[in-house]
Structure 1
Amino acid sequence: MAKTRREFIERIDTAAGRTNFVLQGERPAQRVNETVDRIRAERGLNREALRGSSGARPVLLTGGDIASRLGASAIIAAGLGLELFRVNLSGVVSKYIGETERNLKRLFDEAERSGGVLLFDEADALFGKRSEVKDAHDRHANVEVDYLRLMIENYDGVVILATGSQDCLPKLKAFAGYTVELAPDSGAC
């Protein structure tokens, strides 16, 4: 049975826009607003221009807790006049070979139709998988990461990768087009 959109993505209400979400500190809020301005300047001001930018690199949100990353993502989506969809990683990732790629394909096909901003929170869970190849499972995990990168690069919309972890930041920063550092997570080690 084919998975439905609800199993892959959750729509986040951004109707309240910038006033409903508060970021700690002046600098993170300023960086989020600057990112919205840069995206608009580089891609255009109308929705179709924002959606028709294949090859655009994703926004990386680092640090902060889940609520601040979600708030920053909502502000970005609202600032662009687009809907925000949070990707449900547990619905996408599968232990069966080839199933994760099929799920990612369905996810991005649906995202193309809806035209929203895709948020991959805890992106380090996906991008941190790359490892030394010791067996077929390691090789397949690396293929999944490469496939996800390809899907993001070919997506005609805005993608946000968010992480509180410092472990795979160099990889994510090299891939991202915009980086916004939020206040450190108070629960971090």
Structure 2
Amino acid sequence: MDQARCPWAVTPAEIAYHDQEWGRPLHDDRALFELLVLEGMQAGVSWRIILEKRDAFRQAFDGFDPQVVAGYGPEKLEALMHDSGILRNRTKLRCAISNAAAFLHIQQEFGSFDNYIWSWVGGVPIVNHPCSMEDLPAQTPLSETISTDLKKRGFKFVGPVIVYAYLQSAGLVNDHMEWCPWHGSTDR
């Protein structure tokens, strides 16, 4: 596609992610959990690497079923540590497992994680108007507030920068460049 798009989307995986997912409202709890795990895994690593390993992560994490992931024990953690298809950071892997349990608690309290996370924006995506990459913040007061709440609920690897990236990837925030064809798009 020779169309202008946000400048960070360069590789085929990034372009597909940009054009089909990023900034588009996501309401499926399993997919919301997947992004939460992947955003945590991305800390200190290029998103490009995460996208390239996404299928391996899906396989290693049993399709990102939070019920299954929450039940992982020491043997599964060791199996993940030996899976060359994913990032093998023990701390991040442990956090993904404990975050699954916290995710399940939110589902029980709010009926779904979707209900919880979308309540922060009143169910309507925030559409920003960046004209360049320099216009994109790393974090916002909203991501700081959500980060604090998630941490109180037992989540790890959910600092305000990770949460802001999560809000963008799950479509709660649309940060496509104003000149990008996907700016303001809320189609799924």
Q: Flag the structure with higher strand content.
A: 1
Q: Flag the structure with higher helix content.
A: 2
- What is the TM-score of this pair, normalised by structure 2? 0.25
- What is the TM-score of this pair, normalised by structure 1? 0.25
